[in-house]
Amino acid sequence: MQAQSPQELLNQAELIHSSLVVKAAIERLSQEVTLALADTCPVVICVMSGGLVFAGQLLARLNFPLQVDYVHASRYQHNTVGKTLTWQASPKLDLTDRTVLLLDDILDEGITLFAIKEKCLALGAKAVLSAVLVEKLLDHSKPMAADFVGLEVPNRYVFGCGMDAYGWWRNLPAIYALK
């Protein structure tokens, strides 16, 4: 656990994307997703817990029929380094022959989102797309690319907008990086 208080973490953090930039990115994503999926009646799956803030904002802007579900799989467990993938909840809806849209806060290494995509395909989904609020810019390849990306962030530990720093600050409307 970090030695700093949550407020000290925020006070010492660097702003990466303001709340206005985040809102504009979510609005743009809503238009892109609508154009691509409005006629598919998709199952939209929120990746918990990080995807909750992003999903709540994006879903309110999607004006077409869809069903909502969630998964809970994580590699971080309130740490800043990912470890073994832990499944806490799988999709509950029948995905057979359905188009699925995964909503997550960040595409970092891509390991978790790739595993979730593979699980949805194994459960019978005919297509699995993904939308992430942010993609971390890394100097190596990832096992998958997101179909819809709101913003890019540097290869630093970022938090806010669903992403946490040691379990804190998912509720921030802007994106920050730890120093």
CATH number of the domain bearing residue 36: 3.40.50.2020
Determine, yes or no, domain membership for 1.
no
Determine, yes or no, domain membership for 165.
yes
Mean pLDDT of the chain: 93
Determine, yes or no, domain membership for 85.
no
The greatest distance separating any two alpha carbons of the chain, rounded to the nearest whole angstrom, comes to: 50
Determine, yes or no, domain membership for 128.
yes
Reported as a single tens digit per residue, the pLDDT across 3-19 is: 689 999 999 999 999 99
Per DSSP bridges, beta strands 43-48 and 99-107 are parallel
Determine, yes or no, domain membership for 88.
no
Total number of domains constituting the chain: 1
Reported as a single tens digit per residue, the pLDDT across 60-109 is: 999 999 999 999 987 665 555 556 788 889 999 999 999 999 999 999 99
Determine, yes or no, domain membership for 127.
yes
List residues bridging with 177 in a β-sheet. 14, 158
Compute CA distances 162 → 116, 126, 127, whole Å.
18, 28, 25
Count of Cβ atoms closer than 10 Å to residue 39 Cβ = 11
Task: Please tell me the least confidently modeled range out of 41-55, 76-90, 164-178.
Answer: 76-90
Q: What is the pLDDT at residue 175?
A: 98
Q: How confident is the model at residue 1 (pLDDT cuts 50, 70, 90)?
A: very low
Compute CA distances 127 → 2, 40, 43, 121, whole Å.
40, 10, 10, 7
Q: Which structural domain range is residue 151 located in?
A: 6-10+17-69+94-177
Site of tokens 């970092």: 108
Determine, yes or no, domain membership for 123.
yes
Determine, yes or no, domain membership for 78.
no
